[in-house]
Amino acid sequence: MNRTKTAPVWWLIGLVLVASVGCDQFTKHVAQNHLKGQPVASYWGDTFRLQYAENPGAFLGLGQDLPDGVRRTLLVGVNLAIATALATVMVVGRRMGPLRLSACALLLAGAIGNLIDRVQYDGLVIDFMNLGLGPVRSGIFNVADVAISVGAVALALASSRTPPKSTADGSANQ
């Protein structure tokens, strides 16, 4: 790939990483200072709630019942392995199109945001948002989780598209 053509894409990736991780960490800081110890705040007919939680497990509390040392080591290790794999895929997969790279950047940003929490807060992740209608509610989540979800959907969309056509110089057009 031509270096001048890839530079704007890498700037976009850097921007996605910095903005996503920064927003995640800032909102978690605000949640700790303003939501911790407070009652649940409900908005839009209880569709959206702000509710402070310290999640010891993975997605929806998975693994939270493991012994503390095992849980911390396992969740930090898995999180670090996933972040490393994503970063490697992004660097090695230079021929990926901007949508795939952006999706991977969102996944990586979410992994980094939650990894920062796990290291900083003894294996815990700060969560504070909840969505639902009536009795049907999501788990409590954070901005890193939103980045991961949006990245996963974008990656699925990018993967469902037809393979990119190569140009004469061997670069991809996606």
Q: Residue 108 falls within a domain, yes or no?
A: yes
Q: How many domains is the chain built from?
A: 1
Q: Residue 50 falls within a domain, yes or no?
A: yes
How many CB atoms neighbour CB 43 within 10 A? 9
Q: Which domain holds residue 108?
A: 3-160
pLDDT category, 62, cuts 50, 70, 90?
A: confident
Q: Residue 169 falls within a domain, yes or no?
A: no
What distances in angstroms separate CA 122 from CA 21, 55, 57, one per listed residue? 19, 11, 12
Q: Residue 167 falls within a domain, yes or no?
A: no
Return d(Cα 74, Cα 101) in angstroms, integer: 27
**Helices 98-120 & 143-160, crossing angle to 10 degrees?**
150
Query: Is 60 exceeded by the pLDDT of residue 95?
Result: yes
Interval 3-60: pLDDT, tens? 555 667 788 889 999 999 999 999 999 999 999 999 999 999 999 999 999 999 887 6
Q: Residue 101 falls within a domain, yes or no?
A: yes
Average pLDDT value for residue range 75-80: 92
What distances in angstroms separate CA 45 from CA 34, 49, 131, 133, one per listed residue? 21, 10, 11, 9
Return d(Cα 159, Cα 161) in angstroms, integer: 5
Query: Is 80 exceeded by the pLDDT of residue 110?
Result: yes
∠ CA 118-119-125, nearest 5°, is 20
Q: Residue 113 falls within a domain, yes or no?
A: yes
Res 94: pLDDT: 66
pTM above 0.75, yes or no: yes
Query: Is 80 exceeded by the pLDDT of residue 2?
Result: no
Q: Residue 131 falls within a domain, yes or no?
A: yes
Res 1: pLDDT: 46
Res 167: pLDDT: 54
| Residue 85 or 163, more confident | 85
**Catalytic residue IDs:** 127, 145
Q: Residue 171 falls within a domain, yes or no?
A: no
Query: Is 80 exceeded by the pLDDT of residue 119?
Result: yes
Res 127: pLDDT: 96
Q: Which residues contact 108 (CB under 8 A, 6 or more apart)?
A: 17, 83, 86, 87, 90, 151
